[in-house]
Structure formats: structure tokens, C-alpha cells
Amino acid sequence: MPRGRASRARYEHRRRAALGRVGNWAWSRARPAALARDGWRCRVAEVAAGTYRPELGPWAGTLVVSPECSGGDRALLQVHHVRGTEVGDDPRWLLAACRACNLATGDPRARDARPDVVTRW
Ligand SMILES: [Zn+2]
């Protein structure tokens, strides 16, 4: 990722554009709705521990709690796609996550792919 605030903003804009997020009306509604439902704080640790939104349990193991979790800092809040972006922006599979936890967790589908590589050894 490029360094610096301006280039990071451009990078984020391009990344969101690639994901179809820029000018995406549904996402512009789904994102704040998901954050409001989750109380505007990072819920990764609670879901991973099974103490919040137990319906996400099957995917709790894909979550990684960052040691730099910023909790309820709204400026650093993002929305994690618990089942990956493949299933779309269904609010049931969206989770308020701080930037650090979202980055540490990454794409759950990428994580699923890893054991396939290991079995080839
Ligand atoms: Zn966090």
C-alpha cells in the first residue's frame, strides 16, 4: 500500500471502485446500517469469542483479532464481509470491524484456500 494520507485515500478510492463500491447505492446504505447495528465499535473479538452475534459462529474461526484493535474509534471503523465479498452486501454477513482487525483477518476465502496448498507437500 502506498504511504501518505493522500495516496492512501487514492488507493482506497481505487480499491472501492474496483469492488464496485464507489457510487454503489446499496453499499452506501448497507455500510452505515451494519455499523449502527453493531453499535459503532469493532466486534471482531466478541464474535471470535462467541459472545456476540452467535449466528456468525461458523465463521468465528476466520476472524483474527489484531493486537492493535482500535475498538470504538469511528474514524478507523470498517465493515468486514464475514463470508467474503462473494455473497454480496447482505447485512447478515456484515460485521463492524476496526481497520486493524479487518486487515489482520483479510479475505476469509483466501484463508480457506491455504490448506489446499499445504496438502500438496
Ligand atoms: Zn478490532
| Residue 73 maps to a domain | yes
CB 70 within 8 A of CB 100: yes
- Per-residue confidence (pLDDT) for residue 81, from 0 to 100: 94
- 84 Cα–ligand 1 center, Å: 17
Pull the grid cell for residue 84: 467474503
- Per-residue confidence (pLDDT) for residue 106, from 0 to 100: 87
Distance CA 112, CA 51 (A): 24
| DSSP-based three-state secondary structure for 10 | helix
| Residue 21 maps to a domain | no
| Residue 4 maps to a domain | no
| Residue 47 maps to a domain | yes
- Per-residue confidence (pLDDT) for residue 41, from 0 to 100: 98
| Residue 45 maps to a domain | yes
Domain with 60, as residue range(s), is 27-119
Alpha helices (runs of H) in the chain, residue ranges in sequence order: 5-18, 25-37, 44-49, 57-60, 99-105, 108-119
| Residue 62 maps to a domain | yes
Number of structural domains in the chain = 1
- The rounded average pLDDT for each run of 10 residues, N- to C-terminus, in the chain (121 residues) is 76 81 83 96 97 95 96 96 87 95 83 43 44
| Residue 15 maps to a domain | no
- 23 Cα–ligand 1 center, Å: 27
